[in-house]
Structures are given as C-alpha cells and as structure tokens.
A and B are shown apart, each in its own frame.
Chain A
C-alpha cells in the first residue's frame, strides 16, 4: 500500500510546491504578487507579453498600433501628442494577417478603441511566408479561432500557471533578476526598450519575398479585420511599411517582387478603401540611420513623419506617404 500512498502524497506535495513557487514569482504579473521584489518579470515572448499587458491594463486605451517589429519604434507619446488618445503599441515580431486579425479581436474584446493605426509589411501577404510558430503557441491563437473571448476571470486559479512554461518562466524571472541582466523588452504602453543610437551602416535586412504569391486566405483575414473595425466604428488608418532605399531598389530590380509590391498595394486599397504608401523610392530623403535602424525597421524619427502625414490626413507632394485610393 506504501507505493500508492507515497505516489499520491508526493504528487500532491510537489504540485502544491510548484504552484506555490509559480504564484510567488507571478511570472506573467497576473496577480501583482512580487514576494521577492523583482525588478522585472518581462521574460515571455512579445505576443504573450503584450497580450497580458492589454489583458491587465489599468489605463483605458483609445488608440492602438498594430504591425510587425517594423512598428516597434513607433512611440505612443507621439500618437497621443497628435490625437490626445491614450495609446498602446501592440506591434509584435514576425507578424502576418493571422496575428493582425487575432490582435484586433483581442483589442475589441478588452477595450473600446477609437483609432487603430495599422502598418502592413509586404511579406505579410505572401502565401509562402509562414505564420510564426510562436503565434500558434501564444494566447492570441484562440482569438484567430474566434474562441475564448470572454473577459479574463479574476480567479485565483489561472490555467496559464499550471504549465511547464510557467515553471520555466519563473526560473527565468529569477535568473534575469539575480544575474542583473534585466532587459525590459517592452515598456509601458507597449513601447520598445530604450536603445543606444545606431551608428553603423544601414544594412538590408529581412529581405524575404521568395516565391511571392498573394494569399487569398490572408486577404480574407484582413477583410474581416476591416469589417470588425467598421462594425465597432473604429477608425482604421492603414499604411505600407517603409523600407530603406537599398531595400526598395532591390525590390524594384526584381521583376517578380516589384510586381508583387504593386499587387500588394492594390489589394490593400481594395480592402481598406484608402491607404498611405510609404513603400517607394521617395524614401531617399530619409535614407539614413536617423530614420532607420536597418532597412526594414524605421526609427521613431521616421514614425513622427509618418504619423504627421497619416493623422493629419495630408496628401504628400511626392510618392512617400501618398494616399492611394481605388
């Protein structure tokens, strides 16, 4: 009888110890517990991090920024300065329309936004560009499936904490705090971490348009995103992601990819009615490390230009930021 008794007693004891450990660390900051006074708990991936930030937000955000890592450096203060709206930057890495629709649904379930600023990258509509596997393991996945959209319950048992991932992340929290390598990837309002100014050459990065083919499925996802925003009377401002001049020139020199870029813009116009085009060679005047960290990641300075144009609804005199209509 010993084996069975020991088995059950040990199981109960270890479960209790592990749960006690996880709750005392509170790795996803769900309960505001900080027994050990850790400086940061930001150990999860962007999708989990920002998802939890929105889920447990104390501010009533009225504007959201959606996009890939290319929109990371768009600072919410700049949006607030122009609109007066409390803004959250919900940009996460390596996104495709699967993310965008799920994020839109999550935002609409948790907040009452008046404005969504959406930056779309060329690669995102490529059928042969895979959706990030991290999306499928993130809590956003449930929103793509249109499931589980209820308000999170204020329960003392959180199923996210009954996972191996939570054990892992609890240790990570200890590790980053004890070793002093604290790194806040995302700050308040979803803004990106503070960085040293970049002084190196403007490198071409993330040039990945192999076998570009417009994805019908992803077009449908964006159409649904637009429909949801219309239904909830949310103003949706869309623009195409800016790339450095070298990046754009490489696109233009490839017949297939330049054709894909044209199709990409046409499709976005068809879906959203009106978009701002920042993906063209007139980026030349901003082609420096002041405006770009690398060829596909604009700096805050460039976003100031973009926001000024988009939020003031001004049409550009040249191609950079030109309004495209059907």
Chain B
C-alpha cells in the first residue's frame, strides 16, 4: 500500500489509528499492539499477499534465535547461534536479492550457462533484514533484549517504516510503545504528525512525481541527450531521488507521530554538505549509522592493526557493501566504490589540514553526488556513459529555445529541448535548488513548529493540492531497494 494513495489516507490510516487508540483507551494494551501489528501486516500484504510468509518466517526465526541468545549462558553456543542467525538473514537477503545477479555473472565468467531463477524480490526485504540484523547484533552484545513476540514483531513491521525505513533501532522505538504517554491521544503529536506528513506528501506528489516524467524521458534514449537535456535529466533525477525518499521519510515520521512514536530523522539538508563525509552524515542518516556501527566498526576490528590506512580500507569496503545493498547490479557496486573512494580522499585531504573555500567544496561535492546518481539510476554503465557524455557536450550542444529565437535567425541549430513542458522542468529544478538551500528542512520545521491557525490553513491547502495530485500515484524509488 502506498502512503500517497486515497485508500491509505482515507481508509487504512483512520481505521488503524482509531482502533489503536480506542483499544488503548480501554486499557487493552496488548490488544492495541496486536491490532497495530495486524494492520501493519495487512499494509504489507496489500501489495502482494505472497510476500507475507517470508516476513513472518523471518520474524519467527529471528525472534526464536534472539530469545535463545538472551537465555543461553554458554558463550560458545551463543556465538555459534549468532553466526547461524547472521547467515540466515544474509542468506535470505542474498537469495531473494542477489541470486540472479550471481547466476548472471557466473554464466558470463564461465562456460556454464545457468538459467535465472524466477524470484520476486519481496518488498522492503533490505530494510526489515537490516533492522533485524542490527537488533540481533545488539542482543548478542547484550545491549538490547526483548522476549515478547508481539513487541518484537511490532518493532519489525510497524507500517510507517516497514517498506523503506528510516531504519529504527530497537532501543529507540520499543520503549516508546511501552510509555504510558504513547497510549493516549496527544494533541501536539497529532498536529505535528499531520504537518510533517503533509510536507512529505508535497515533496513526493508536487516535486518528485513531476520530475519523474522528465527523468524517464531522458533515460529512455540517453545517447540522444544534448548538453542542456543531459544536465536537465541528471539534475531532475538527483532532486527526484531526494524529494521522493526524504518525502517518504517525512511521511513515515509524521505517521509515527500520529501514534506517538518518534521515528529517527533520515535527512538533514544533504545537498548543503561541503564534503562527502558531511553528505553521508546528512543523507539516509539511519543507513549511514548502520554502516558505521555494524559494518565499518567490525571491519576496523578485523584489520591487522588499527591504523589510519587500515581504517580507510575498512571505510572503502563498508561503502562498497552499502552500494551493493541498494541493488543487485554492477552500477550499485561502482556507486558504492566511488563514494568509498571519495570519503577516503576526503580523509587524506583533511589529514593535510588544507582548507578549501566553502563554495568550491560544495560545488565539488554536489557535482560528485550528482554524477554518482547517474550511475545509480542507469541500468547499465553504457547508459551512464551516454548521460555523462551528454553533460560534457560530447553528444551535441543545442541551444534551448527559451526566448532566444534570434539565434535561430543567425542560423544556429535550435534544440528540441525547452518546449513549454521543459520550461516547467527548469522552473522545478530552480525551485528545488531554492528549497534545498534556503528553506528550513523538515527537522528544523519540526523544532520550530507551533500549532497556529494560519499554519493549519496553509497545511490544509497543501494537503488538498496533494490530494488532487494523487491521480498520478507512483511508487517510491526506494521501494526497489
């Protein structure tokens, strides 16, 4: 089920919300949690009920293992159990997400031809697997623990973050469900939730979905992209990805607040970053935290020595893994490697203590990110190469038609780009730049939120405009990962 659909907004959400608070009001706390769990599973299975058995098996196995880990006093036994469960989770993810990628590459590298398997990638598997792996590690290290199945299952499946995060930590989320305050209607949280949800919906419906048409159009025939068109395509995708994913995260945070649950922030104006390390501290923050805590740190510990050089190797490997996590394709591997390499270069630069002008640093960072998003979006490296060639003017340079018809009279070739439709694209790209640099981001807006009448009217206006835009319902980009 999509957040940006009439069914979700007008039926599912009110029913789930009213049911949850009604049951809590009559002190049926466990039943309220079960209700929310049931609603979350319905939300998940609404797309395709065949996804349900897998998530249920995953939850059951992980719960059984983590309970055993908490009960077991034998360290060796615990370690074996821990590695078994790690293999189980990664095996599940590996099979559903990477098996065909592996078979393809195996066939390409050897003379043995292996037919791809008919595997449907279950929605959200990357997210709920990461969430459970994080919990598993925390339990193994003795920093978290939960024995009640209902609590654990609700932690994994809570519908606002189930499909695309933000990736929550058990210690962050579950104590909130236990709190007495979470069980009663909280006026401020509901007002703030509606406000944040509307911001997210606007980002998705008004900006990301509008840009998506031009992105698909550009990537359909990348070899035909001229200079302006190529830049338009790549910037459109960069902003589409940001507004789509941060819009989803805002909606998830807003929905969490309606249930009195504070879900962690996922974005903090990433395009204002002056270096690549800063970018990752602001972009998909919960994934960055996961990479740092559960991949980078263990990798550093595995290195022969704790030196700067080894740390950099660990960083590069961690970012490559993060790239692969996004999808089973070489483009994602290269995306991860490039970011890993950029972070390593940044640390070496930082070590030399050379200062760079902020604008120059921002320009380099933004363009690097924009460039790597081309690889991220492309189905093949050839496709990415064409977009980059277009941006460099190597596939032709045609003037846009915008108000410079006199150039035509001089005999210069006028491009097909910048029709009325593409004037709108340019306007949206400019608006996106302004929003990214000048407007307060969602967490800043949340902090300064005051439930005033004027703001309520403004939020309602935005909400209604979005409702009228829901006819072009589209999936969120991160659903693919």
Q: Which residues of A contact B (CB under 8 A)?
A: 1-4, 6-11, 14-15, 18, 128, 130, 133, 137, 159-160, 162-167
B91 contacts A by Cβ under 8 Å: no
Q: Is the interface of A mostly helix, strand, loop or mixed?
A: helix
Q: How many A-B residue pairs have CB under 8 A?
A: 68
Q: Are A18 and B221 in contact, with the CB atoms below 8 A?
A: no
A224 to nearest B CB, angstroms? Answer: 23
Cα distance A11–B465 in the bound complex, in angstroms: 9
Report the separation of the CA atoms of residues A3 and B189 in the bound assembly, to the nearest whole angstrom.
11
CB B216 to nearest CB in A, in angstroms, measures 8
With both chains docked as a complex, state the minimum distance between the C-beta of A160 and any C-beta of chain B, in angstroms. 8
Shortest Cβ distance from A128 into B: residue: B221
B456 touching A3, Cβ below 8 Å: yes
Q: Which of A2, A6, A162, A164 contacts B460 (CB 8 A)?
A: A6
CA distance A202 to B271 in the complex (A): 52
Interface contact A163-B471, CB-CB below 8 Å: yes
A3-B187, A3-B191 are known; give 19 further A-B pairs, CB within 8 A.
Answer: A2-B453, A3-B451, A3-B452, A3-B456, A4-B187, A6-B456, A6-B457, A7-B463, A10-B457, A14-B464, A15-B467, A18-B464, A18-B468, A130-B220, A133-B217, A137-B472, A162-B467, A163-B468, A166-B468
Q: CA–CA, A167 to B461, complex, Å?
A: 14
Instruction: Please give, as numbers and ranges, the residues of chain A lying within 8 Å of B456 by CB-CB distance.
Output: 2-4, 6-7, 10
User: Is B312's CB within 8 Å of the partner chain A?
Assistant: no
Complex interface residues of chain B between 425 and 481 (CB less than 8 A to chain A): 451-453, 455-457, 459-461, 463-465, 467-469, 471-472
Nearest-CB residue, chain A, relative to B188: A3
- Chain A nearest Cβ from B446, distance in angstroms: 14
Tell whether, in the assembled complex, residue B190 and residue A162 are in contact, meaning their CB atoms are under 8 Å apart: no
Contacts of B213 in A (CB 8 A): 133, 137
* Chain A CB within 8 A of B333 CB: no
The CA of A162 and the CA of B472, in the complex, are separated in Å by 11
Within 8 A of A (CB), among B386-425: none
| Cβ < 8 Å to A, chain B residues 202-244 | 213, 217, 220-221
B123 at the interface (CB under 8 A from A): no
Residue of A nearest to B187 (CB): A1
Output the least CB separation between A89 and chain B (Å).
26
> Does B194 have its Cβ within 8 Å of any Cβ on chain A?
yes
Q: Is A2 a contact partner of B461 (Cβ separation < 8 A)?
A: no
Q: How far is the CB of A170 from chain B (nearest CB, A)?
A: 11
Which B residues are in CB contact (< 8 Å) with A2?
451, 453, 456
- Inter-chain CA distance A1–B457, complex, in Å, is 14
Distance of B316 from chain A, by nearest CB (Å)? 40
